[in-house]
Structure 1
């Protein structure tokens, strides 16, 4: 495994980006919208712990994504992916990064607060992805991407702050940065595999199927009793089947034609959706700073997803 392997997949992905970029961007935005619903849905299972929720959603989502890949073309994509031994280290790396991303994020949120942990994680991921893209000789960072990403990150900061102070913890911030880096590596690996000719369903199924195996011990140590109730079961099925399985299926399809750097920036729509749902469903109130952040974030994402004039 090397940066040259990532570069081969990235170069093939670039060849199709200019053809179907709007469709790929719409898929990534749809995935981000689904991720944005998780916070609101999770409130319907108040007894669930954060780590337990992460383990349940990854295990359910991983099993469903792996089963879908196995049913697609009779599992031809999975067999082809397994037969290419040079890609197996990338699959292992991507699966480990999924697990690290989840674990580091919840540890960061526990130490430095949800607002700061979320902003640092989601805000740092596009920057890390852009750097990884350069190292992998992916599409160069453009002024448009840099401006849209800066605006979107600033919007996230205003939205998460909302006029309320939040304490910071150096170790918590470091864990949030590790979470953002892990997500960036996962996105880059997935984009390289898909851009290299692998089936997107097979790639996502293999990555999350392997990540699900890593989370099984968590369920064994702390059984998710909350998921055995009626409401808890519905929450678990939604988080695993829709907000993880369905969302990452859309994200993988978007990576066919959108670079990892652009896709990671577009996922900054997640906190905007979460804020809107919090206002509409949970009756939370947004201050003037949060509303300004929401407007800045929306404008930045629109500027990024609308195709540039040739």
Structure 2
């Protein structure tokens, strides 16, 4: 009975992360409809207001779990700093290198960083199933990036901007993995998932929201900018991270970030059909490999493969 409940909880957690990833996959495309807004402003507003909404929705459990969050202050501060840095790096990466590549680099690198954090900080070995899935996912992401056809605006961008965009994407991947790992540590320590996410995001909002004084002058200039800003804060950030926190209850951070590889897949499809970005056939092969990666995470491997995986991590 307990095994059945555990399997059900795991499935629900994975489904919550998948839905969150779908919501996050819309952020890059939404941001493109408001190009007048600075990527720093859109990131700070979305994560900042999202953090405030998370704190309001989790106020009762947050007050109760404050001692748990503060029992490991370095983990809490590390996670909060990662939340604050992530949107600034992520949206700037997309602005410099394009929606598809910016999202791909940021999200594809996160599972590797998450696995490294769990291995070195939590002393948790990497399973063979995760490794196989990561190989499929990484190869798929590389093919996705190769499949992007350069348009006129991309060709006019300097190589320095492209390189800097990729570097910012890697920073976004590291910080994404960082706050996922920190939230998981708090949840494992006994904090409610809402409290863990609200605490980290609320602390980051203290830094992010004041920065809008310098960058947020175009946030509400017209109806489109206002709609994009509010959508980003309420739907992908608030609702998305509620779902992600719920999923972390039964899912390791390395596995959760691996599942979120569906985000660049969604972002790529939206970039193709809504923004008009063109993809070569190799890009579609990459999409198939990302789907295969997600499939590997959602099925049970044969017992023999499980045994081999245990030996490999022993």
Instruction: Tell me which interval the TM-score lies in, with the shorter structure as reference length.
Output: 0.7 to 0.9
Q: CA 1:244–1:210 in structure 2 vs 1: closer, same or farther (change >3 Å)?
A: same
Over 3 Å counting, the alpha-carbon distance change for 1:33 and 1:115 in structure 2 is: closer
**Which residue of structure 1 aligns with residue 66 of structure 2?**
82
Gaps of 5+ in 2: 304-314
8 Å CA contact 1:22, 1:306 repeated in 2: no
CA distance in 2, matches of 1:55, 1:66: 16
- For residues 290 and 183 of structure 1, what CA distance do their matches in structure 2 show? 24
Quick one: distance in 2 between partners of 1:123 and 1:38?
Answer: 16
Instruction: Report what 1:150 is aligned to.
Output: 135
Measured in 1, the distance between the counterparts of 2:67 and 2:117 equals 26
Distance 1:102 1:69 in 2: 22
Per the alignment, residue 105 of structure 2 pairs with 120
How many residues were matched structurally? 290
Deviation at 1:152, TM superposition (A): 0.9
TM-score of the two chains, using structure 2 as the length reference: 0.83
Alpha-carbon distance, 1:283 to partner: 4.0
* Equivalent residue number for residue 29 of structure 1: 18
- The residue that corresponds to 1:141 in the other structure is 126
CA distance in 2, matches of 1:158, 1:233: 35
Q: Does the aligned pair in 2 maintain the 1:61–1:208 contact within 8 Å?
A: yes
1:48 has 2:48 as partner: no
Checking the alignment, whether the CA contact within 8 Å between 2:37 and 2:216 is kept in structure 1 is no
Structure 1 position 60 matched with structure 2 position 36: no
Whole-angstrom CA distance in 2 between matches of 1:106 and 1:201: 25
> Structure 1 residue 97 and structure 2 residue 104: aligned?
no
Distance 1:171 1:232 in 2: 26
- 1:252 is matched with 245
Shift in Å, 1:197: 1.3
Q: What is the CA deviation profile of residues 244-285 of structure 1, one whole-angstrom value per residue up to 9, with x for unaligned ones?
A: 111011100000001100001111111111122223333443
In the TM superposition, what is the alpha-carbon distance from 1:126 to its structure 2 partner? 0.8
Q: 1:174 to 1:271 in 2, by over 3 A?
A: closer
- How many Å separate the matches in 2 of 1:204 and 1:33? 19
- Aligned mates of 2:164, 2:273 — CA distance in 1: 34
Q: 1:193-232 to 2 correspondence within 5 Å? A: 193-232=186-225
| Whole-angstrom distance in 2 between the partners of 1:33 and 1:112 | 21
- The answer on 1:302 being equivalent to 2:295 is yes
| 1:38–1:243 CA contact under 8 A, matched in 2 | yes
Secondary structure at the residue paired with 2:71? helix
Cα RMSD for the two superposed structures: 2.4
Deviations 1:49-70, CA, capped at 9 Å, x for gaps: 2111101101221111111011
Displacement of 1:41 after TM fit? Answer: 1.8
2:176 pairs, out of 175, 183, 204, with 183
2:286 alignment partner in structure 1: 293
Offset from partner CA, 1:43-100 (integer Å, 9 cap, x none)? 3323212111101101221111111011xxxx1x212322233134322221111112
Normalised by the length of structure 1, the TM-score is: 0.84
- Per-residue CA shift, 1:97-147, capped at 9, x if unaligned? 111222333455566665554433322211111111122346421111111
